[in-house]
Amino acid sequence: MQFKDSNKLKAITFSYDDAVTQDIEFVELLNKYNLKGTFNINSELLGRNDMLIRENKRVAHYKLHKSDVKGIYDGHEVAVHTLTHPHLPPLEDAEVIRQVEQDRLNLSDIVGYEVIGMAYPGGGVNNDDRVAEIIKNNTGVKYSRTTTCTDNFDLQDNLYRFNPTAYHLHFDKLMELGEKFVNMTPDKPQVFYVWGHSYEFDFYSDYRVKFEEFLKLISNKDDIFYGTNKEVLL
């Protein structure tokens, strides 16, 4: 395997959830370093203005408006995050299918191309083999990301429970893995897959600057392919 008809054996991709307004600045940051990402969207929650409390801080969780989605994510990938962000494992088969496939169809209509990717909604154990099989056999989704980090770059056989490499807020681990990835010369394909939420940068005043250090480290390397999740995994 080589990535998207290139002769490169290393690839980096990003996956961010919820389609919040903080994505606007984050997309600009990715573009600055010629990086690509996939943005996972709940189509029935677009336009809502909510607040979150984490780490004893309140942060805006304002969703983008439907009319802005296509333009903001131009050059990147839009993917499924279900219609309304439910925990999928307890749901009946038909509701899993509806949440996933209708979101996929809605998003395809919004962006003007067929959406085929997904990230499971919710933290912790937000997926299982049953749900993955339902999605594989009853929807147009071709891959789906979990939140279980591997801390390695090996390819995985099960694209419907695909585990990312690292979570973006674990900065020391991110930099350690970044140094390793940039300096390695593999003899087989390797993927560095980072996931998170752009609103999480608002919890820590210095983290945006730190994260840009990581982007500087891993960007614009001749031996690395930079693509969306779809371009890297499929």
* Structural domain total, the chain: 1
- What's at 40, amino acid-wise? N
In terms of DSSP bridges, do strands 49-54 and 57-62 run parallel, antiparallel, or are they unpaired?
antiparallel
Alpha helix (H) residue ranges in the chain: 23-32, 66-72, 93-97, 103-111, 129-138, 171-183, 207-218, 229-233
Tell me the per-residue pLDDT of 117-148, one tens digit each, with 9 for 90 and over: 999 999 888 999 999 999 999 999 999 999 99
Confidence (pTM): 0.97
Question: Domain residues for 169?
Answer: 3-233
Tell me the per-residue pLDDT of 74-104, one tens digit each, with 9 for 90 and over: 999 999 999 999 999 999 999 999 999 999 9
CATH of residue 32's domain is: 3.20.20.370
